[in-house]
Amino acid sequence: MTESLTFYGGLTTIGGVHIVYGCGDTGLVFDLGMTWGLYAGETRIQPEHGIRNYLLTRMAPPVTGLYHPDYLGDVGEAELRGVWGKESLPSFDKLHGFVSHIHQDHMALLPALRPGIPVWMHRDAQAVYRAVIAAGEYGDTQADIHTVQDREIVNFGAFSVEFIEVDHDTPGVTGFIIHGPKYKIAFTADWRRHGRHPYRIDGFIERCRSARVDVLITEGTRLRPDTLFRKPKDRFEQNVAVECRRAMEDTNGLVYVNILARNVERVADLIVRTREAGRTLVMDESTAVLWHEAGPNVEVLRNHPALEIDRDIIRVLKNPEWSKGPQSKESVELPYKTITISEITTNRRQYAVYLIYPHTPLLAELESMGEQGCTAPIYVHADGNPLTPTDETLHRWLKEFGVDYRYCATGGHAAPQEIADMAEAIDPRILIPLHSVHPTLLDSRGVKRYYPTPGESITLDQLVGQITSV
C-alpha cells in the first residue's frame, strides 16, 4: 500500500506547518494552524471571507473535504489547483486532522473545518482550546474532537499513530510516530529542553529509537546564522515567575506582567509568586476567563497551589461594553471580585497588572491618576505578544510614562545544537527540518536531510528508498 507525504506550509516559515500523510484511502493532515505575517500590516482578512482568502493566498492547505462547504463559497478545486499549480490535490475517503498544540500557528483553522471531521489532540490541549473559545479569542469548531493521552496508540486501519507528549510553553503539546505498513514517520511538534518537563523529550527520543523511525520531521525555529556556533543560554521556565516576583519586590509602584495566557502553567506560577510578593493580580476579563476555564481542567495542573488561592489573589478589571469583541462570552460566571482603575491607582504597591498587548493604552490611566510618589513602575515582558522585545509601539508607551522594561522571555523552542543531538540520537534514514526560516542551517550529524518544496507530494518509497545524498 502506497504511503505518501504532501507538504504545503511551514517549510521556510516559523509556524503554519501543513503536511498530509496518505495511506490508501486514509489521510492525516497536520497541523491545522496558519503562518502569520505573509499578508499582514494594515490589511485584515474579514471573517466572512476568512478561509477563502487563506486558501487563495496559500495560508491554508488545499485539502479536499477538510473545510466547511458553506465557508468555501465559489472557491473550488479548480481554483485551488491553479493557485498551487497542480493537476490534482489530496483527496481521501477517510480524512483526519491533528493539532499538536493550541498556539495560533497550529490550531487557527479549527473554526473553518467541516462538521464531523475527526481531529485528534491531547486532552490538555483540548482543555486549553475550550478555554480559548470561552475567552472569546476564537470561535468554536464543528469538527469532532478526539482527545488522546501520552503514549496512546490509535488505529486508523491502514496505519496507526502513537501520540507522544513533548515539552513546549503550553500544555498538551504532542508529537507522534506514524506506524505505516512499510515506514515509520516521527513528528516532534514544537519542543524545548529548558522547560518544566525535559524528560518528555528523552522519552520521545527513546521511543523513536526503539521504533527505528525512517523519517523524522522536526521544528527548527531557532536555526539562525548567529546560533550555529554558540548555543544560546536559555532561562529555565521555572525562573520566569521568580523574575516576575522579583520585579514586584523591587518597586512600590505598579508592576505590569505580559504573559501569553495559553501558557497556563506559567500563569499558575505567576499567581503563586504574586501572593509571595504580597500583591494582588489584576486581570482583564478575557484573560481571567481563560485561566478560570483552563486551570482546573488541565491535568498537568492537578494539585497546583494556584488553584487553591486564585480567588484571593485575582481581581478582574471589567472591560467597558464598547471594547468587547464580537466573540466575547457573557455567559462565563467568574468567581473573582472586580476592581476599578481608581482602586488600583489609590494603592499601586498592592497590585500587579496582567497587561496584554492590546490593552497597553491602559497605562495612560494607571500611571496618570491616583497615588503619586511611588518608585518607577516595572513592565515584565515574558513571551506575551508582541513576541519581539523591540516593538516600537510598546516602548513608546513605556517611555511616555516612565515604566522600566524587563525582558524575561524563555520561549518554547529547542536550540539548534539540541535539535542536532536529537537527530543523532534517533538516527532516522531521512531528516526533514521545517517550522524555520533557515532549515538548511541544521547540522544533521551525518543524517541525510530532505527539503521539500511547497505543494510537493512524494511517496515514502521515493523519499526513503531513492535519496542517496544530503
pLDDT tens digits, 400-419: 999 999 999 998 999 999 99
Element (H, E) at 28: strand 26-30
C-alpha 212/C-alpha 192 separation (Å) is 22
Mean pLDDT of 8-33: 95
Report how far apart, in Å, the C-alpha atoms of 11 and of each of 143, 222, 454 are. Answer: 26, 14, 7
Of 188, 222, 192, 220, the C-alpha closest to 204 is: 188
How confident is residue 110, by pLDDT bands cut at 50, 70 and 90?
very high
**For position 233, what pLDDT does the model report?**
83
Looking at residue 231, what is its pLDDT? 79
Extract the C-alpha cell encoding 350.
Answer: 498592592
Of 326 and 275, more confident: 275
Q: Give me 324's grid cell.
A: 468587547
Q: All 3 cell numbers of residue 118?
A: 475527526
What is the model's pLDDT at position 469? 42
- For the record, the C-alpha cell of 97 comes out as 486532522
Q: What is the pLDDT of residues 310-331, one digit of tens each?
A: 999 999 998 655 455 444 555 7
Q: Is 172 helix (H, G, I), strand (E, B) or coil?
A: coil
- CATH 3.60.15.10: which residues of the chain? 3-227+413-465
For residue 257, is pLDDT > 80?
Answer: yes
Can you spell out the DSSP letters for 333-387?
Answer: ---SEEE-HHHHHHSGGGEEEE--GGGGGGHHHHHHSS---PPPPEEEEEBPSS-
Q: What is the grid cell recorded at 437? A: 526560516
The CATH number of the structural domain formed by 238-407 is 3.40.50.10710
Greater pLDDT, 47 or 422? 422
Q: Which CATH code is given to the segment(s) 3-227+413-465? A: 3.60.15.10
DSSP 289: H
Per the CB < 8 A criterion, the answer to whether 441 and 420 are in contact is no
Q: Which residues pair with 179 in a beta bridge?
A: 160, 184
Q: Give phi and psi for 339, each to the nearest 5.
A: -145, 155
- Please, what is the average pLDDT of the chain? 92
Residues constituting the chain: 470
- Burial code (b: 16+ CB inside 10 Å, e: under 16) for 246-270 equals bbbeebbbbbbbbbbbbbbbbbbbb
First-to-last CA distance in the chain? 27
Can you give the pTM of this predicted structure? 0.93
Q: How confident is the model at residue 467, as a pLDDT?
A: 59
Considering the chain, tell me which residue range(s) the CATH 3.40.50.10710 domain(s) occupy: 238-407
Residue 209 has pLDDT above 70, yes or no: yes
pLDDT > 70 fraction of the chain, expressed in percent and rounded: 93
Span 28-77, pLDDT tens digits: 999 999 876 655 544 455 555 689 999 999 999 999 999 999 999 999 99
Would strands 174-179 and 314-317 be described as parallel, antiparallel, or unpaired?
unpaired
H or E element, residue 405: strand 404-407
Residue tagged 491618576 (cell numbers): 369
**Distance, CA of 163 to CA of 154 (rounded, Å):** 8
Strand partners, 62: none
What are the grid coordinates assigned to 290, written together? 481563560
| pLDDT tens-digit series, residues 425-439 | 999 999 999 999 999
pLDDT of residue 20: 98
